[in-house]
């Protein structure tokens, strides 16, 4: 194994260990927390190293980049688990439903409708997370907390979407914990069992507040290109 590959294997083990410790600290079962290795904009040899280390759960933020990286591997590695963590455009819903096992970025009505149409057409039902704009930032995607209950109900009841969880990206200049707590509260009152929250800088906090999916990129692979 090359030095770089060795490094990535160590990072995976180290982050997994911290996730497990954080989970146990709040009496959660570490097995309930999935570590998504966010491979966007990473050189392919790093991703190959993570695969060789046995990691199977990956996240991407662009459909086209994900197709290039994963379409062939998908056929070769049956237990791959692919998550779209970035914004989805409605005209990419077809490709996204074809490729991904989970989509974390259901952030507006048009996207929900496009996904509903494709899921019905393809008969593939990726797990869906509703993205909430917990900081109510005008430039950021996501449903406002005050509109969350109605949006989630509409997705489930009117569109028959397989919504299983909620996702957030806290404002960069704020403590993430109150945002994670708010996300957990909204998910709980809507009976959504899964929480996608926590990135390289704050995944341990997120696990302590109930994350079932942490999305870790640079801490695992190193700094991104471009």
Ligand X SMILES: *Cc1c(COP(=O)(O)O)cnc(C)c1O
Residues at the interface with ligand X (CB under 6 A) = 38, 40, 61, 85-86, 169, 199-200, 215-219
Return the structure tokens found at 96: 């996204």
Q: What is the DSSP string of 124-135?
A: ---EEEEEE-TT
**Residue 128: both structure tokens together:** 């869906």
- CA separation (Å) from 62 to 39, 97, 104, 211, 223? 11, 13, 12, 23, 18
Residue where the block lists tokens 């083990």 = 13
Here the tokens at position 149 are 């209950």
Which C-beta is closer to ligand X: that of 151 or that of 203? 203
Q: Nearer Cβ to ligand X, position 38 or 49?
A: 38
Nearer to ligand X, 86 or 210 (CB): 86
Minimum gap (Å) between residue 19 Cβ and ligand X: 13
Please state the closest distance from residue 158 (CB atom) to ligand X, in A. 26
The conformation of residue 117, written as its DSSP 8-state character, comes to: H
Residue with the shortest CB distance to ligand X: 217
Name the minimum Å distance from CB 84 to ligand X: 9
Distance in Å, CB of 208 to ligand X, minimum: 17
Q: Which is nearer to ligand X, 143 or 199 (CB)?
A: 199
């Amino acid at each position: 194994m090359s030095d770089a590959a060795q490094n990535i294997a160590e990072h995976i083990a180290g982050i997994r260990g911290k996730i497990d410790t954080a989970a146990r600290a709040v009496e959660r079962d570490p097995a309930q927390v999935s570590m998504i290795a966010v491979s966007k904009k990473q050189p392919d040899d790093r991703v190959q190293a993570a695969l060789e280390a046995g990691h199977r759960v990956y996240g991407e933020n662009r459909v086209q980049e994900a197709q290039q990286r994963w379409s062939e591997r998908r056929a070769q590695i049956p237990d791959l688990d692919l998550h779209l963590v970035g914004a989805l455009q409605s005209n990419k819903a077809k490709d996204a439903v074809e490729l991904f096992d989970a989509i974390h970025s259901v952030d507006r009505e048009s996207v929900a409708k496009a996904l509903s149409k494709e899921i019905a057409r393809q008969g593939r039902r990726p797990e869906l997370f509703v993205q909430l704009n917990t900081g109510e930032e005008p430039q950021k995607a996501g449903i406002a907390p005050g509109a969350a209950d109605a949006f989630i109900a509409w997705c489930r009841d009117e569109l028959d979407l397989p919504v299983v969880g909620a996702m957030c990206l806290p404002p960069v200049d704020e403590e993430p914990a109150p945002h994670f707590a708010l996300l957990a509260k909204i998910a709980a009152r809507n009976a959504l069992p899964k929480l996608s929250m926590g990135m390289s800088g704050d995944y341990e906090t997120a696990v302590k507040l109930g994350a079932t999916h942490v999305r870790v990129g640079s801490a695992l692979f190193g700094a991104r290109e471009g």
